[in-house]
Copies of this chain bind each other. A is one copy, B any other.
Amino acid sequence: MSDLTAYLKAKQQEINAALERFWDGTEPFPTPLIQAMRYSLEAGGKRLRPVLCLAASEAVGGSDADVMPAACALELIHTYSLIHDDLPAMDDDDLRRGKPTCHKAFDEATAILAGDGLLTAAFEVLASAGRARRSDPLKWLEVSYLIARAAGCTGMVQGQMMDLSVEGKAITLEELETLQQLKTGALIEISVKTGALLGGGNPQEVAALTAYGRHIGLAFQLADDILNVEGKPEIIGKPVGSDQAHQKITGPSLIGLEQAKARARELVDSALEELEVFDMRGQPLAALARYIIERKK
């Protein structure tokens, strides 16, 4: 795809407009809670998960409208996880995307509740879409179930717990990839799978896109850890070298920077192979896979 930047920008605008509509339903409550939720949701994220969801739908011939509520739900969940991960009791981060983290801009109690509110909002959006689109309520239930499994104690939340538990311990590359698959991979994989399912993909298409999602999910975390070593702080919006300072075990720390880069490229190549059956319609997903390891932030 020649112009991923334009594609990303168009999709991000669509997603932001759809996310914006969620606040209509919270109008009677103009409190710090809603402000904190919006602050973090509108802090300039790349919207990678919803974009992947839309692009996967496109690959199987679905429309953006078919899947937009799920795309929004995925971003709501991603944002909640960042707020909670940044808390003092967790990773204790002061900056996120170059801005004060939610508990710094507001306070800890507000940040905990803003995360809770965003997580709950995700399932509100999914259920609301399902009951409005009466044509296929079972698909929305299926997708809600899969997203909950990927986000909760069998997915992302479990991954964050493991990440905290292994601090300072020796682990193998296999254990690290299990942890990262849960912490970051599961939600990225389900973003792609959700798009494929709601976009109307057949079982083979859904399986291929799910495999694509799994590969890029792992590649994404590797790329993040590589940026933490050699990224530019003014571009990524947070300090560089923090993993090393915290003696955090990452791909680069375990197998070295060059090996980690090779592994990320290998994962992206595996992801691209899964797209072969989709012809032109898979091009945005191919460009996104490459972007994941080439991005500077």
> Hey, what's the 0/1 contact readout for A114-157 against B, CB within 8 Å counting as 1?
01110111011011101100100110111011001101111001
Contact A153 B121, beta carbon cutoff 8 Å: yes
Contact B157 A120, beta carbon cutoff 8 Å: yes
Task: Report A's interface with B, CB cutoff 8 A.
Answer: 25-26, 28-29, 31-34, 37, 80, 84, 87, 89-90, 107-110, 112-113, 115-117, 119-121, 123-124, 126-128, 130-131, 134, 137-138, 140-142, 144-145, 148-149, 151-154, 157-158, 160-162, 164-165
- If A29-B154, A120-B153, A158-B33 touch, whether A109 touches B164 (CB-CB below 8 Å) is yes
Q: How far is the CA of A227 from the CA of B197 in the complex (A)?
A: 51
Which of B26, B107, B137, B157 sits near A89, CB closer than 8 Å? B107
Contact A33 B161, beta carbon cutoff 8 Å: yes
Contact A84 B112, beta carbon cutoff 8 Å: yes
Q: How far is the CA of A32 from the CA of B165 in the complex (A)?
A: 9
* Residues in B neighbouring A161, C-beta threshold 8 A: 31-33, 109-110, 113
Which of B28, B84, B134, B149 sits near A138, CB closer than 8 Å? B134
Q: How far is the CA of A137 from the CA of B157 in the complex (A)?
A: 27
* Residues in B neighbouring A131, C-beta threshold 8 A: 138, 141-142, 145
Contact A26 B116, beta carbon cutoff 8 Å: no
Contact A145 B160, beta carbon cutoff 8 Å: no
* Residues in B neighbouring A80, C-beta threshold 8 A: 116
* Distance in Å: Cβ of A152 to nearest Cβ of chain B: 3
